[in-house]
Amino acid sequence: MVVQAIQYSRFGDEEVLDLVNIKSDSLKVNQVRVEVYAVGLNPIDYKTFEGAKPLRFLSFMTKLRKPSHWFESKSSLFPRGIGRDFAGVITEVGEGVSRFAVGDKVFGTMISDPGLGTKRGALATEICVNESEIVLKPEMIDMNHAATMGVASLTVGGAFRKIELNSKDVVVISAAGGIGSIAVQYAVAKGATVIGIASKKNSDYLKSLGAIPVAYEENIQNALLSASAKPITKFLDCYGSDYVKLAFSLGLKGTAIGTLVPSPYVMIKGAQFTGPRHSTYDDLNTLAEMVSEGKVRLNIDQVYDFSLKSVREAYRSLKLGHTRGKKVVKVRK
């Protein structure tokens, strides 16, 4: 069967992306075939197809841990697919699969070593994925919303595990995007007091998620110190290393500061570079349960068609860095 997929064969901006017809993959052990209905976009997607420097650094670190990767040439990894998060219906079950059956509606995320990426990509009409990368879709949400949960569930679950978030914490979370929106609600559901940082225009949005809003256009340090009667105990940065500096300036130890964005400063100062690397498979289910129980609301910023023009436009817009919640590509009409 012919599969339509977004692929690229060299690093660069969205113009390197192409919509191509490819052959169906054959199923490997422990894999299922999924007809894709929707794909949620993440900044890691464009950082990967652009060949961003921090990812090349992570790729180098991964090669130190897994020497077999030294023998991969750049060209052996092209053409590559793009996109990680998806929702769809299982159309075939491979040998060894025990948890899923044909017809199951699922969501998940394609997992790969940091920085290396893989040849696989979720932006396709059909994909083969490992059963450890999917869970059943909650009945009460549609495919578009389900496609927003993969990376976010593993990132938030992993990050809060690493910084040991608990109900007594007062946690600062930067950003109202795909990860920040979920992190805020997740921490509120865990009983923590949450202070959210975003632009002024997102203050009401952050309040609606359960956070005390602080606008980054103001003197953030003063605003943070006066936001809560109780002292700040944890910080999760979903934006970049200036927030890690800010977290240290609030008197927090490196073990109490998590960041999703790696940098030499973060490593040297002993803050925690975290996210999916500290996740477990159950984190996918935990977010699905929270959504089913109404504890977490999934916010879609915009839905795009599965055409080359729309996908390029979606990434161009995501790169501007002001997405509220998630951008989704509707693959199946």
Ligand X SMILES: NC(=O)c1ccc[n+]([C@@H]2O[C@H](COP(=O)([O-])OP(=O)(O)OC[C@H]3O[C@@H](n4cnc5c(N)ncnc54)[C@H](OP(=O)(O)O)[C@@H]3O)[C@@H](O)[C@H]2O)c1
Closest-CB residue for ligand X? 177
Give dist(CA 42, CA 193) in Å, integer: 27
Residue 252 has phi, psi (to 5 degrees) of -80, 150
Q: Does 276 bind ligand X (CB under 6 A)?
A: yes
Select the residue interacting with ligand X from 202, 233, 272, 299 (CB under 6 A): 202
* 128, HSE (Cβ side, Cα atoms, 13 Å): 17
Nearer to ligand X among residue 79 and residue 240 (C-beta): 240
Task: Name the nearest CA neighbour of 119 among 69, 93, 83.
Answer: 83
Give dist(CA 34, CA 92) in Å, integer: 7
124: which DSSP letter? B
Q: Does 203 bind ligand X (CB under 6 A)?
A: no
Return the residues of window 40-69 that contact ligand X according to CB under 6 A.
Answer: 42-44, 47
Helix/strand/coil for 119: coil
Nearer to ligand X among residue 49 and residue 216 (C-beta): 216
Q: Could you tell me the end-to-end alpha-carbon distance of the chain, in angstroms, rounded to an integer?
A: 19
Nearer to ligand X among residue 47 and residue 332 (C-beta): 47
Q: In angstroms, what is the minimal distance from the CB of 309 to ligand X?
A: 21
Q: Does 86 bind ligand X (CB under 6 A)?
A: no
* 207, HSE (Cβ side, Cα atoms, 13 Å): 8
Give dist(CA 149, CA 152) in Å, integer: 5
Return the residues of window 204-243 that contact ligand X according to CB under 6 A.
Answer: 216, 238-239
Nearer to ligand X among residue 287 and residue 318 (C-beta): 318
Q: Does 176 bind ligand X (CB under 6 A)?
A: yes
Select the residue interacting with ligand X from 175, 246, 290, 300 (CB under 6 A): 175
Nearer to ligand X among residue 81 and residue 276 (C-beta): 276
The count of chain residues that interact with ligand X, using the rule CB under 6 A, is: 29
Residue type present at position 195: I
Give dist(CA 44, CA 304) in Å, integer: 18
Contact residues toward ligand X (CB under 6 A) are 42-44, 47, 151, 155, 174-180, 197-199, 202, 216, 238-239, 260-261, 275-276, 318, 321-324
